[in-house]
């Protein structure tokens, strides 16, 4: 019997197995771009730090095309010290897709300090500059981000890319975002399990994952919250941009159509645990303001470090590109 739904992830220390380490011997150079991979296994690569983009001026369509073609293979790109502001962040995101997600402002637009409807504030800073309090609904809303997930699977139209940009200083004590390769994880599954998964449809519900992370506060989401984000349904096995099959998974995954809730959760978390073994995972440390990570939600999962009492200000903002 599946007994525990609540998942708690502690902060990941630097240099533990699976943390980011650049593979200089496997560097790839395309035009003026230098791509240094993070994880390399056989013919598969996952994650890379990218150099050679001049963020001080608009990015040409040729460079954007090169980046997208490379991103289809690497799934996660890291750029350091871009110097981008909100306008530059949004402009580059719009070059990657025709439509960006609009922030629903769960807790009122009047409380938003970023001032951009196309950016999501995922930091820990309030409008008045104080840090988010641990007894606030916003604090508990953020706890879900520390569970392994894929952005916006609770939307019926998938998100294609997420771009997360840091502003200001790095968090005292270190701050990480962790990424898992759902393509290679799928390829390593036994064939009988692949056959079982092939045609499964999964219900994704934002309030399910919020309840997992904060069962007391989000055991009963408000009517407004539920109206803003109803469930969505997606195939569990999908095809990534590079042509490989991948698992479309998240802590938002609540139920497999045709199976009981308990059976569904047991299989979902069995697969999430498989995908997040250290051999499929790397951890990106945020080092300075202007650092940006761009990932493909169709072929990866990710999670953040949780908010902690006493942590310093963390100012990160995300744009999300809707799938075609």
> Using one digit for the tens of pLDDT, what is the confidence trace for 55-93?
999 999 999 999 999 999 999 999 999 999 999 999 999
Residue 17 lies in a domain: no
DSSP-derived secondary structure for 205-255: -HHHHHHHH-TTTSSS--HHHHHHS--EEEESEEE-TTS-EEE---TTEEE
- Please give the pLDDT value at position 96: 98
- Please give the pLDDT value at position 171: 64
Residue 18 lies in a domain: no
Residue 1 lies in a domain: no
Q: Which of the residue ranges 66-75, 207-216, 229-238, 240-249 would you say has the lowest mean pLDDT?
A: 207-216
**CATH number where 290 lies:** 3.60.130.10
Q: Which of the residue ranges 112-126, 143-157, 186-200, 244-258 would you say has the lowest mean pLDDT?
A: 112-126
pLDDT bin (cut points 50, 70, 90) of residue 312 is confident
For 61, how many CA atoms within 13 A lie in the half-sphere containing its CB?
1
- Please give the pLDDT value at position 278: 85
Q: Is the pLDDT of residue 165 over 80?
A: yes
Q: Which of the residue ranges 25-34, 191-200, 208-217 would you say has the lowest mean pLDDT?
A: 208-217
Residue 204 lies in a domain: yes
- Please give the pLDDT value at position 121: 87
Residue 11 lies in a domain: no
> Using one digit for the tens of pLDDT, what is the confidence trace for 18-28?
444 556 568 88
* Count of structural domains within the chain: 1
Q: Which range of residues forms the domain containing residue 279? A: 24-322
Average pLDDT over residues 295-322: 87
Average pLDDT over residues 178-191: 97
Are 147 and 251 within 8 A, CB to CB? yes
Residue 10 lies in a domain: no
- Please give the pLDDT value at position 6: 40
Are 272 and 148 within 8 A, CB to CB? yes
pLDDT bin (cut points 50, 70, 90) of residue 38 is confident
Residue 308 lies in a domain: yes
Residue 6 lies in a domain: no
For 161, how many CA atoms within 13 A lie in the half-sphere containing its CB?
29
Average pLDDT of the residues of the chain: 85
E-assigned strands of 42-103? 44-51, 76-79
- Please give the pLDDT value at position 314: 81
Q: Which of the residue ranges 89-93, 105-109, 144-148, 302-306 would you say has the lowest mean pLDDT?
A: 105-109
**Higher-pLDDT residue of 174, 52:** 52
Distance of CA 171 to the CA centre of its chain: 19
- Please give the pLDDT value at position 88: 97
| Global confidence as pTM | 0.89
- Please give the pLDDT value at position 19: 43
Average pLDDT over residues 271-295: 91
């Amino acid at each position: 019997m599946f007994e525990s739904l609540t998942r708690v992830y502690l902060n990941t220390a630097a240099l533990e197995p699976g943390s980011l380490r650049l593979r200089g011997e496997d560097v790839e150079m395309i035009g003026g771009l230098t791509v240094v991979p993070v994880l390399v296994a056989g013919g598969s690569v996952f994650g890379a730090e990218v150099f050679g983009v001049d963020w001080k001026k608009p990015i040409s369509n040729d460079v954007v095309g090169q980046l997208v073609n490379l991103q289809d293979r690497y799934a996660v790109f890291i750029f350091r010290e871009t110097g981008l502001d909100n306008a530059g962040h949004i402009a580059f995101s719009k070059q990657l897709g025709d439509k960006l997600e609009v922030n629903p402002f769960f807790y009122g637009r009047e409380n938003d300090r970023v001032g951009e409807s196309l950016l999501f504030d995922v930091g820990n800073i309030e409008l008045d500059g104080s840090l988010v309090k641990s007894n606030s609904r916003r604090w508990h809303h953020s706890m879900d981000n520390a569970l392994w997930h894929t952005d916006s699977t609770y939307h019926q139209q998938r998100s294609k890319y997420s771009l997360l940009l840091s502003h200001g200083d790095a968090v005292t004590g270190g701050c990480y975002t962790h990424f898992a390769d759902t393509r290679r994880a799928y390829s390593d599954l036994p064939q009988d399990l692949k056959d079982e998964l092939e045609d499964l449809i999964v219900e994704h519900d934002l309030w399910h994952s919020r309840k997992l992370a904060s069962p007391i506060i989000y055991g009963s989401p408000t009517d407004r919250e539920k109206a803003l984000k109803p469930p969505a349904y997606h195939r569990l096995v999908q095809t990534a941009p590079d042509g490989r099959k991948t698992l479309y998974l998240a802590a938002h995954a609540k139920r497999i159509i045709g199976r009981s809730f308990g059976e569904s959760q047991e299989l979902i978390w069995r697969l999430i645990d498989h995908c997040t073994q250290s051999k499929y995972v790397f951890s990106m440390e945020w080092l300075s303001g202007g650092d940006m990570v761009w990932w493909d939600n169709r072929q990866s999962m990710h999670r953040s470090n949780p908010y902690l009492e006493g942590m310093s200000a963390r100012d990160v903002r995300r744009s999300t590109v809707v799938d075609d």
